[in-house]
Amino acid sequence: MFPPDDELKICFAHVAYQLQERFLLRQSGIDSFGVRTPDDFAQRIGEADVVVVSGMWRNELLDQAPRLRFIQSIGAGTDQFDRGRLTARGIRLASAQGVNANAVSEHAMALILALARKLPEARDNQARHVWRGMISDIAQREDELGGKTLLIVGLGGIGSRLARLAKAFGMRVVGIKRDPFTGGEDADSVHALAELKTLLPDADFVALTCPLTKETEKIIDGDALALMKKSACLVNVARGRCVDELALLGALQGQAIAGAAIDVTAEEPLPPASPLWDLTNVLITPHTAGETRKYEDNVLDILVENLHRLATGESSLKNQIV
């Protein structure tokens, strides 16, 4: 049996997020504590029936967690958790899938707008106190999104909402999803991943919102980049390894594509020596697409729902993994 609320203790483990502080505001009556470092987490995990954690998790901690019954991941990804060991111990696991669908889709739309409206260039000019004059070369001016084609690779929760946002700007939206015969109502057309290279030449913007899988690793490689218009831009809010970073660097340096906006990189943090930092046709955000003022409360909504299901003996959890 799952412990009742008056016997339950939750550990919130994150280096920065204010999860326990936001949880206390809900006045649930459930005991909790927060840890900010791996060492503190290792020392105190033995006190917890429930752990809310993501990047701080290490599977060897299971040996120090005799009371642990449920893990609520803070993020959508759960690759760091050994599902076999959790199953053997009877420990349930749920992801936070969907927690940042609004945030990431809005960030992707913001990156598209920033590239089209040349906002990074404007900010650079502001820093130099430069009032840019009018431009006679049409190809160098800011652009409008209406009538442009957006190719979205990954038409799940994030990609579908991005499609709706893009449609509001008058864009034509082409979607790619694992099963093109289910869902996809928000795009003008939906295709299988195998059709990617036939769709790339028509796209003005290519946005990656897909999970990282064997099929999507380096899905944007040198061949894919060569198929894109010279005026096209790549937007990546998925995972860094969905793109062949060396190939992208070459395409940007050689102006084979117009630009890229990336929230994720193959190695994070992006090394200071990476040439990507210095390219004027690149906009970089530090994997912050999903990090908003509402993130903690969005995670806690999922946690509270799953605690209720566990307490009432329901067999399935929201975003259940184990």
Backbone angles phi, psi at 66, to 5 degrees: -65, -25
Angle between helix 119-127 and 101-116 (nearest 10): 70
Cα 41 to Cα 31, 92, 198, 249, 268: the distances in Å are: 16, 19, 49, 39, 23
Decide if 305 is catalytic.
no
Decide if 287 is catalytic.
yes
Distance CA 36, CA 14 (A): 5
Distance CA 269, CA 272 (A): 9
The one catalytic residue among 14, 239, 245, 309: 239
- Which residues have a Cβ under 8 Å from the Cβ of 151 and sit 6 or more positions away? 174, 175, 176, 199, 200, 202, 203, 205, 206, 207
Strands (E), the chain: 9-13, 31-35, 50-53, 70-73, 92-94, 149-153, 172-176, 189-191, 205-208, 233-236, 259-262, 282-284
Decide if 268 is catalytic.
yes
The one catalytic residue among 144, 217, 268, 314: 268
The one catalytic residue among 22, 89, 241, 287: 287
Backbone angles phi, psi at 301, to 5 degrees: -60, -40
| Strand 205-208 with 149-153, pairing | parallel
| Residues annotated catalytic, as ranges | 239, 268, 287
